Amino acid sequence: TLAKATTGDARVLAIANQKGGVGKTTTAVNLGTALAACEYRTLIVDMDPQGNASTGFGLTRGDRKRNVYGPLMDGDPVADVIVPTDVPGLELVPSAVDLAGAEVELVDAEARETRLRSALAPILERYDYILVDCPPALGLLTINAFVAGHAALVPLQAEFYALEGLSHLMRTIERVRKGFNPDLEIEGVVLTMYDRRNNLCAMVAQDVREYLSNIVYDTVIPRNVRVSEAPSHGKPVIVYDMKSSGAKAYIKLAGELLRREKGGAPAMAS
Ligand code: ADP
Ligand code: MG
């Protein structure tokens, strides 16, 4: 029932949270893999100078010679920097350390907020989903992802300070709506690294659901050692160990995301 039904331009999702280590990259890599497995043509754009998504697919330094920097800073065609992954139907725009400079160079650049949107425009029709893996900051790289995006998808680690910083994130999204992208939605919030045996996790999850209500996915991503092992093998956990709890959760998340989009609910304003 979740088989591909869309045609036309890609839906662009900015996977964002200014906190590091909350599961943005893991979510981009595995949601992308799950969507591709459902036959949705998917592209992941690695917008983090650390390049963890690129590493997560086993890309070497040489594989990243051409990366998102060129399209972003020099107006190079993004089509020229797309590389395949081992996952059929899933492609990647790699990042490289140069991108750390871009964050600074963008400050004085023309059209500094809209460059990713312009870069992606010519290839939107090639994909069903484009997932932008954002760096752990609310600087111009993340702003570019919000401006280019139809919606933001926010991974939230189930820990004591989970909600801290969320108002800053929501204010940034509101600013982008006002300035550049009035239709930017919140695709959803996904709780990550959830530990069922930890009472604090359960309390945090309840808190988050009360505060954010129906934008939080029912699917929760458990803390799972196979998820943390997978990147060092250059594979998404869905490929590395399809039967692991982490892989199953990400497949379930893709299903929930697709169902929500088909139902037209509940992506909404904050
Ligand atoms: P971010 O992109 O937000 O910085 P990552 O996705 O890179 O976060 O995750 C941070 C670290 O936690 C990585 O080492 C990753 O492998 C690990 N990790 C992410 N999700 C899980 C999970 N569900 N279970 C165990 N480890 C995880
Ligand atoms: Mg990351």
SS3 13: strand
Annotated domain spans of the chain: 11-263
Please give the pLDDT value at position 50. Answer: 95
Q: How far is the CA of 206 from the centre of ligand 2 (A)?
A: 25
Q: Specify the ligand 1 atom closest to the Cα of 246.
A: 23
93: left (phi over 0), alpha (psi -120 to 50) or beta: beta
Which ligand has the shortest distance to the CA of 48? 2
DSSP string, 195-225: -TT-HHHHHHHHHHHHHHGGGB-S--PBP-H
226-255 per-residue burial string, b: 16 or more CB within 10 A, e: under 16: ebeebbeebbbbbbbbeebbbbbbbbbbbe
183-223 tens-digit pLDDT: 999 999 999 999 988 888 899 899 899 999 889 999 999 99
Q: Is 94 in the pocket of ligand 1 (CB under 6 A)?
A: no
Which ligand has the shortest distance to the CA of 225? 1
Q: How far is the CA of 243 from the centre of ligand 2 (A)?
A: 24
Confidence check: pLDDT of 255 > 60: yes
Confidence check: pLDDT of 129 > 60: yes
Q: Is 244 in the pocket of ligand 1 (CB under 6 A)?
A: no
- Say how far apart CA 29 and CA 43 lie, in whole Å: 10
For domain 11-263, the question of CATH label 2.60.40.10 is answered with: no
| Strand duo 151-157 + 83-84: pairing | unpaired
Count helices and strands in the chain by DSSP H and E runs = 11, 7
30-85 tens-digit pLDDT: 999 999 999 999 999 999 999 999 999 999 988 899 999 999 999 999 999 999 99
Can you tell me the ipTM of this complex? 0.99
219-251 tens-digit pLDDT: 999 999 999 999 999 999 999 999 999 999 999
- Say how far apart CA 149 and CA 131 lie, in whole Å: 9
150-169 tens-digit pLDDT: 999 999 998 888 888 899 99
Which amino acid residue places its CA nearest to atom 27 of ligand 1?
Answer: 228
Q: How far is the CA of 240 from the centre of ligand 1 (A)?
A: 15
Angle between helices 140-148 and 98-105 (to 10 degrees): 80
Q: How far is the CA of 32 from the centre of ligand 1 (A)?
A: 15
Mean pLDDT over the full length of the chain? 93
- Say how far apart CA 13 and CA 10 lie, in whole Å: 9
Please give the pLDDT value at position 162. Answer: 81
* Global confidence as pTM: 0.95
Q: Report the chain's terminal Cα–Cα distance, integer Å.
A: 30
Q: Find where tokens 């959830």 sit.
A: 194
Residue 26 makes CB contacts below 8 A (sequence gap 6+) with 56, 155, 192, 221, 227, 231, 237
What would the mean pLDDT of 115-132 be, rounded to a whole number?
A: 98
